[in-house]
Structures are given as C-alpha cells and as structure tokens.
Amino acid sequence: MIKTNNKIRSLKFFLFIGVIFITVFVNAKDKEEKLNSKELQKKEIKDYIAHHLEDSYYFDLFSYTNDKNEKKYIGFPLPIILWDNGVKIFSSSKFNHGKSVVNIHGNFYKIYHNKIYKTDFSGTINYDKNNHPSNFRPYDFSITKGVSVIILTSILMFVLFRSLANSYSKNKGLASGLGRFFEPIVIYIRDEIAIPNIGEKNYKKYMSFLLTIFFFIWFLNMLGLTPFGINVTGNIAITFSLAILTFIITNFTANKNYWAHIFWMPGVPTLMKIVLAPIEVLGVFIKPFTLMLRLYANMQAGHIVMMSLIALMFIFYNWIGSSLSFFLAFFISIIELFVALLQAYIFTILSALYFGFANEEHEHNETH
Amino acid sequence: MEKLLQEFSIGLFFWHSIIFITLIFLLKRFAWKPILQAINDRENSIRDAIESAEKAKIEMENLKADNKKILKEAMIEKEKLLKEAKEIRQKVIDKAKDEAGEQALRIITEANETIESEKNAAIAEIKNQVVNLSIDIAEKVLKKKLENEKNQMEYVNDLVKDVNLKQ
C-alpha cells in the first residue's frame, strides 16, 4: 500500500515537473528562432503575452509557424453569440483567426484587437480622433475561451464535490475517494474562515458561497498555471462579477447595526457622525473594489512575470542566461502555485470578514 | 483604468455571473449541504461517543465506590449477625441450662416425694404384715398353749393382768 502511494507520489511529482516543462516549452514554442532583430522579438513577446492575458474566441492549445511562414493554430473554435437586432450564433472558425470578415444575413463582422466590430463587406475599421475604432460593437455574449473554462471548472467542481457528498452516505459518514483530499479544506473554511469571522450564529447561510468561491478561484488559478494559456481569474470581468456577488450578499444580508455604523456611527459626536457617513458609504464600495483589483492584479502580474521569464530564455538565447531564466521561471511557477491558493484564501476570508461586518451585533448604545 | 474598462467584457461578465450563481445553488443543493451535514453528524457522533465514554468512566468509578460501600456494609452486617447469633446461642444455652436445672430439681423433688411416700407405704405394709404375722404366731402359740383348760385359764389371767398393766 505504502509502495503504491510512493509510486503515485513520485508519478505526481513527475507530472508536476512535466506540466511546468510543457508550460515553458509550449508557451515559448512559436517564438523560437524567428526574428533576427532583438527589438522586433521583444515586441512580439510583449504582444504574445498581452494576447495570452486576453480572452479569446478560440480554444487554442498552442500555435506555430510552418515552413511557408503561415501561423497554424492547434485547438478548436468556440461559438460566437452576438446580439445585434436579434441573436446571431455562428462558429468562431468563420473568422479564420481574425483574417476573414464574416457575413451573417447581410451583417458583416470582423475581429479587431480581439474584439468583434460590425463592418462593411470589406471589413474596414474606422478610427476616431483618439485612434480608437469607431465601428459599432454588437453585444457580445460569445462562449469565449474564458466562458468555456468556467463551464469546465464548474462541471469539474460539481462532479468532484458531488462524489464527495455521495461518498459519505456510501461509506458510513467517512469521506472516500478523491474528495477526501478536499474534506479538510472544507472543514478549514468552516472552522478557520467562516466561524471566526462571521460568528457561530450566522455562518451557515454563507457557507455555500464561501466554499464555492474558494474552490472556484483556486481551481481557476490552478488552471491558469497549466500550459493552455488560460487566464480567467486574471480577467477584470470575472473578478468584478465575483466581487459584486460579495458586495450584494454583504449588503442584502446586513442587519440594522451595519447600516447604523455606516450612516450614523454610534458613540461619536454628532459632527463626527456627519463627517464619517460619506467615508463609510465610500467604504462599502471600496471593499469589494479592492477584492476585485487584488485578485485581478495578482493573477495578471503572476502570468506576466512567468511568461516574461520564459520569454527571457529566447532573448538570452545562450546556455547560461537561458538556463538561469529557466530556473527562475521554474521557481516562479512554484511560487505561483502558492499564490493561486493564497489569492483564493484571501478572497474567501475577506468576503467572510465583510459578511461578518454585516452580521455584527454589539450593544454600542450602552458601552460607548 | 481606461484600459481596464476597455478590456471589460460584458459577455464574459454575463456568462460568468450566470454560471457562477447557478454553480453556487447546484453545489449548495447537491454538495455543500450533504457534505457539511455529514461532517457535522460525524463530529456530533464523535463528541457524543467521547461524552458517553466519559460518563461510562464516571459510572464505573461510582459503581466501584458503590461496590466497596456495599461490601463494607455487608461485612458490618455479617459481624453484627454473628454477634447476634452468638448472643442468641448464649441466651438459648443459658435458658436451657436454667430450665434443665429447674426440671432436674423438680424431678428430684418429686422423686424424693415419691420415695418418701413409697417408703411410708412400704413401712405401713411391713407393719401390717408384722402385726398379722404376730397375730398369727400368737394365735398359733395360743392355740397350742390353750389346748387344755388349765392353761387357758392361766393365760386369760395373764392377759387380764397385762391389760390392766398396760392401761
């Protein structure tokens, strides 16, 4: 038994190393031996990183340039859903990676800088005076790479935790299988995050949210470390959506005390109350705003640093510099594994803290 | 900031919000509730088990103390019973002795009385027999003596003389 465990452990370790190697390898692959000019190479790397950080209409696993100097993509297209006087659904393969203009019932669409614009039949992009495209942008509800990863993660989480839940009834109240690994984390979130911050009395109604958000962010962060160029939690729309949920739950479950503390701080002079009120009101919005920015910036920065270090290998292009930056990238990868967990933890514990504020009950009127 | 706003994708926000909220409710219904319930139940059962073990320990100790007490009481009771039994035995013996003495005395007294009366009776009978025997002998002697007249007369005279003397 112990032997197999060791085997599995070493296998996992090799897998882990392998994944990092592939990350390094695949992300770097299409940059190999391409440009003579260093400046051009640097610009391309910058573009590549910027492109990787953005959402995409394709699920590309990697891309390369073939002998005829054509860029080839390995992956699959995703459905495009546009709202432009009616729903328009078509495959993103029609865009041919931004090269083609798509004609849907007489409407022409083109991808320009990773955004879909409505154009004329030749795909002309007009610019305003700030050099921004002035073309009409239809409402874009496409199932992008980000959305599909979210769906995959959701399915993964559902299957995983459903199996954990089922294992209890099958195994006389003891967890079994893969879910067993997550049980201590569930207990940790309950005992170390929810109960201390929210309180024994009210924590139960927030547990579902806290558990879901923790594992969701963690899993997405971890997926971001795989070499498939997934960057979901480093996207402002995602962190905004997560933060706004915390904001809504905080303010909709808040008790009288919470609002009293915002608009009419008990126990301070009246003049102070008037001064404090706008600050506190601002605080209500700043709290989720920082949540949003923290997760976004951390994941974004992590990806930039990691990819830059990987790219350094090809800028140095010699044994010493490249191996050095390889080990740096390797080291940062390990740190990023930790950051993935840490950011999920911070988001969860701060959400719990805000829920705690919303449920605080003091006898201020007497004590102050 | 402007770049952030430009980057912001309504579609991604829309889908993410829908999927995430759905995920929360799905997981709540199918995973978190049963998981937390199971963990809770297990913790409660562990707590109960520890508590009942503790209780059982205390009960055991109480039982031991009780046993000791009962044993001690039993010993005291035994001693008391033995003492009482001894006393009773002594009393019975004493009483028996007393009664036996009395009985013996009575029997002896009665025996004495009987002996006395028997003796008296025997003496009386012996007396009677002696009298009768004497009378018979006297009769026979008299008969022999009084075969002739002369003797008779002599005898009567003697008798008369005797009678007078005796009176």
Distance between CA atoms of residues A39 and A29, nearest Å = 19
Q: CB-based burial of residue A3 (10 Å sphere; 0-12 exposed, 13-18 middle, 19+ buried)?
A: exposed
Query: Is B38 within 8 Å of A212 when comparing Cβ atoms?
Result: no
Considering only A104-108, A228-232, A362-366, B80-84, which range has the smallest mean pLDDT?
Answer: A362-366
pLDDT band at A4 (very low <50, low <70, confident <90, very high): low
Residues 6 or more apart whose CB falls under 8 angstroms from that of A115 comprise: A133, A137, A140
Mean pLDDT of A297-303: 90
Q: A8-25: per-residue pLDDT in tens?
A: 666 666 666 666 666 655
Which residues of A are less than 8 Å from B17 in CB distance?
241, 244-245
Is residue A169 within 8 angstroms of chain B, CB to CB?
yes
Mark yes or no for CB contact A211/B16 under 8 Å.
no
Of the residues A211, A230, A247, A249, the best mutation for testing chain B's interface (the one with the most B CB atoms within 10 Å of its CB) is: A211
Min Cα separation B37/chain A (Å): 9
Residue B46 domain flag: yes
Written as six digits, the tokens of B2 are 């402007």
CB contact under 8 A, A245 and B35: no
The answer on pLDDT for B155 being more than 80 is no
Record: contact A186-B11, CB cut-off 8 A:
no
Chain A to chain B, count of Cβ pairs less than 8 Å apart?
A: 122
Q: What is the pLDDT at residue B166?
A: 54
Q: Take residue B61 and report the two structure tokens written for it.
A: 């100790």
User: Are A245 and B21 an interchain contact pair (Cβ–Cβ within 8 Å)?
Assistant: yes
What local confidence, expressed as pLDDT, does residue B46 receive? 92
Helix segments in chain A, DSSP class H? 2-29, 38-53, 145-170, 183-188, 195-198, 204-224, 236-252, 256-263, 270-316, 319-359, 364-367
Q: Flag if A236 and B22 touch (Cβ within 8 Å).
A: no
The residue whose two tokens read 């009575």 is: B106
Q: Which two tokens stand for residue A363?
A: 């006898």
Domain contains B54 = yes
CA-nearest of A59, A33, A46 to A229 is A59
Q: Is residue B76 part of a domain?
A: yes
User: How far does Cα A269 stand from its chain's mean position?
Assistant: 44
pLDDT tens, residue by residue, B47-78: 999 999 999 999 999 999 999 999 999 999 99
The number of folded domains in chain B is 1
Q: What's the mean pLDDT when you consider all of chain A?
A: 83
> Worst-scoring range by mean pLDDT, A59-68, A108-117, A196-205?
A59-68
Q: How far apart are CA A225 and CA B2, in angstroms?
A: 27
Mean pLDDT taken over chain B: 88
Q: Which residues of chain B make contact with A190, given a CB cutoff of 8 A?
A: 36, 39
Expressed as residue numbers, the domain containing B47 is 30-160
User: Does A242 contact B at CB distance below 8 Å?
Assistant: yes
Q: Do A162 and B41 touch (CB under 8 A)?
A: no
Is B151 within a domain?
A: yes
Amino acid at B37: Q
> Mean pLDDT throughout A149-178?
87
Q: Is A238 touching B (CB cutoff 8 A)? A: yes
Does residue B92 form part of some domain? yes
Rounded Cα distance between B96 and A366, Å, is 92
